[in-house]
Amino acid sequence: MRYKKFGLTVLLALLTIMSFGQEKMKYNPLTPDEERVIVYKGTERPYSGLFYNQKDAGTYTCKRCDAPLYNSLDKFDSGCGWPSFDDEIPGAIRRQLDSDGIRTEILCANCGAHLGHVFTGERFTDKNVRHCVNSISMNFIPAVKTEPEFGKAIFASGCFWGTEYYFQKAPGVISATVGYTGGHKDHPTYKEVCSGTTGHREAVEVLYDPAQTTYGELAKLFFETHDFSQANGQGPDIGEQYLSTIFYLNENQREIAEKLIQILDDKGNDVATELKPATEFWKAEDYHQDYYENNGKRPYCHFYTKIF
């Protein structure tokens, strides 16, 4: 009985190993053309491959087993007619002497799929290596594109047409959008804001590239393009919707604004600008956006004066 149990155990172990091997051999289905190259070591015609001129960022993977093979950063144009790489993803490629006894064949280290050949000494790149790969042996996974991180600022300095005009021209600004903020009415209209009953200011939301400009530079421009000493509006535009206000989105912005106000005070200026924490910004109607650019005019109550 003990030997029967032992034999049964061995049989089960063998079946498990065979099952595991079969599982390992389950590869992606191939077309006849793909099989000719990948399994029977053929070669696609030069300049005919899908990835010969591919320049997008991403990763090249094995057509048969999906194993990562090459990074797009290592791809270069050798003029040979096939995709060329001067490096591989570590551990991804296996080399062996080609059947012609001269060239070095390269295969997927995971599944043994034929990829092409590798050459050295040609001096195409500093690495002095060229993996000459058949496009048909690979798939391509594009790199995930991430949205750039832009900074945001919100300023109100009277009629938002003029505020937008100057910020649109500032270096490093990605966009300037006019709208309403600071009040209690959701989805306000221009007519409602002008009635003075919503508590909203006409404001501009500025998106900027922190690599090209800073919040401090934009805040300086805010003070330099309107009369920050006027307490009842801006120029001929009177009312709470036109009050000079900085809506800060974080404590750093608040501190920067306070320091600039202190500098202005030290210079003997009366500063009427209010500092308020940012609240919901409601985009204004389309006809207000890019107003001066679309109408070929210039601001009537905004001006630039160098201060800082």
Summarised one tens digit per residue, pLDDT across range 226-266 is 999 999 999 999 999 999 999 999 999 999 999 999 999 99
- The two tokens of residue 134 are 């058949």
Q: Report the Cα–Cα distance between both ends of the chain, in Å, rounded.
A: 97
| Helix, strand or coil, per DSSP, at residue 77 | coil
Q: Which residue has the tokens 């500098």?
A: 263
Q: Which candidate, 159, 228, 239, 146, places its Cα nearest to that of 199?
A: 239
Summarised one tens digit per residue, pLDDT across range 129-177 is 999 999 999 999 999 876 678 999 999 999 999 999 999 999 999 999 9
- The two tokens of residue 128 are 């002095």
By the 8 A CB rule, do 157 and 57 touch? no
| Helix, strand or coil, per DSSP, at residue 114 | strand
Eight-state DSSP code of residue 150: -
Q: What is the pLDDT along the chain (308 residues), one digit of tens a residue?
A: 443 443 444 444 444 444 444 445 689 999 999 999 999 999 999 999 999 999 999 999 999 999 999 999 999 999 999 999 999 999 999 999 999 999 999 999 999 999 999 999 999 999 999 999 999 999 999 998 766 789 999 999 999 999 999 999 999 999 999 999 999 999 999 999 999 999 999 999 999 999 999 999 999 999 999 999 999 999 999 999 999 999 999 999 999 999 999 999 999 999 999 999 999 999 999 999 998 888 878 888 899 999 99
H or E element in which residue 294 lies = helix 291-295
Question: Is 159 in the active site?
Answer: yes
Start and end residues for every CATH 2.170.150.20 domain found in the chain: 28-142
pLDDT at 25: 62
- Which CATH superfamily does the domain covering 151-295 fall into? Peptide methionine sulphoxide reductase MsrA (3.30.1060.10)
Angstrom distance (rounded) from CA 161 to CA 242: 11
Angstrom distance (rounded) from CA 149 to CA 253: 17
Query: From the candidates 62, 111, 132, 301, which is the catalytic residue?
Result: 132
Q: Which candidate, 128, 134, 41, places its Cα nearest to that of 83?
A: 134
pLDDT at 13: 44
Start and end residues for every CATH 3.30.1060.10 domain found in the chain: 151-295
Angstrom distance (rounded) from CA 73 to CA 86: 9
Query: From the candidates 62, 108, 159, 301, which is the catalytic residue?
Result: 159
Record the pTM. 0.57
pLDDT at 146: 67
- Which CATH superfamily does the domain covering 28-142 fall into? Peptide methionine sulfoxide reductase. (2.170.150.20)
- DSSP per-residue letters across 197-259: -S-PEEEEEEEE-TTT--HHHHHHHHHHTS-TT-SSEETTEESGGG--EEEESSHHHHHHHHH
By the 8 A CB rule, do 153 and 253 touch? yes
- The two tokens of residue 131 are 């993996």
